[in-house]
Amino acid sequence: MATDKISIRGIDTPVSRIALGTWAIGGWMWGGPDDDNAIKTIHRALDEGINFIDTAPVYGFGHSEEVIGRALEGGRREKVVLATKLGLAWTDDQKVYRDSRPERVRKEVEDSLKRLKTDYLDLEQVHWPDGKTPVEDTAAELEKLRQEGKIRAIGVSNFSVANMDEFAKNAPLSTIQPPYNLFERVTTERDILPYAKTHDAVVLAYGPLCRGLLAGKMNKDTTFPKDDLRSGDPKFQRPKFEHYLAAVEDLKKIAEKHGKNILALAIRWVLDQGPTVALWGARKPAQIDGISEAFGWSLSAEDKREIGAILNRHVPDSIEPDFMAPPQRD
């Protein structure tokens, strides 16, 4: 059972330091939805002590939120801290773009409430900064919604420090959600973690397994279909892919010293970095296996030195996930 928890400003219930990430549950860019397995996955996560679920409208164009809404019926909603996002819109042909105008903010909150079958959101986050809308306008509208009781806490995702400074002048900032894992760490360690520690914010690390690379199940022959996100990720293209796989093999040896697998090591590393929550993506119940292995231990200073040496040896030039950034609106 997951027992390690952390408090988020504005939310009364402490959250598990592993949250269920639900991008894949929406199906988009992950090979299509599988609702029966998705609902079983959510229930399995709750049974394992996970009380924190992170979603977004763009995950399946509303589908992930709808599935979560169904899964939390029957008295489960009040046992869960529910986080979603806003600020991404899409065309009829599923072209995604950024839009955080105040009117869009309000509409997205209302739409998420309906899809999730709830009358409040524990945490509402701005998914990506909208370069064509003043940050203060987006923040001010979210603060109005918080005052109205429709949301309890506010966060941002993929924001720079400068954007967060502007945002925080108009609304309390409780969480920051950047990509963060052993292979994508430079920007978060340089900018985001220090900001979070200074401003009493919690970092929700998305992609802690680097899109499955740190689950330890891939090999040099692993391929991805065109509709899979990883088909456009430079880490999964040769020859870089082989370098990352070599790093994984060496990281496994450190995990084995603790009687753990590479997956548990990758999550534990994120949790050891500071005020962090790791978003554990899953779409099948079996993908919840191993969550408890990340709790009850820590990496030593020597472990961290060895990990640093492995990363420097195999992947000295960290590739940040810039390819994932959606375009600004026309």
Report yes or no: 160 and 191 within 8 Å, Cβ to Cβ.
Answer: yes
Q: How far apart are CA 214 and CA 263, in angstroms?
A: 6
What residue ranges in 184-282 does DSSP mark as E strands? Answer: 202-205, 276-281
Q: How far apart are CA 76 and CA 70, in angstroms?
A: 10
Helical (H) or strand (E) element with 223: none
Q: How far apart are CA 156 and CA 166, in angstroms?
A: 12
Q: Produce one character per residue of 307-329: b if its CB has 16 or more CB atoms within 10 Å, e if not.
A: beebbeebbeeeeebeebebeeb
What is the 8-class DSSP label of residue 179? B
One-letter amino acid of 248: V
Report yes or no: 177 and 204 within 8 Å, Cβ to Cβ.
Answer: yes
In sequence order, the 6+-apart residues with CB closer than 8 A to the CB of 31 are 225, 227, 228
Dihedral (CA of 18, 237, 182, 158) sign: negative
Rounded to 10°, the helix 35-47/63-71 angle is 50
Q: How far apart are CA 65 and CA 325, in angstroms?
A: 21
59 is known as an active-site residue: yes
Which active-site residues does the annotation give? 59
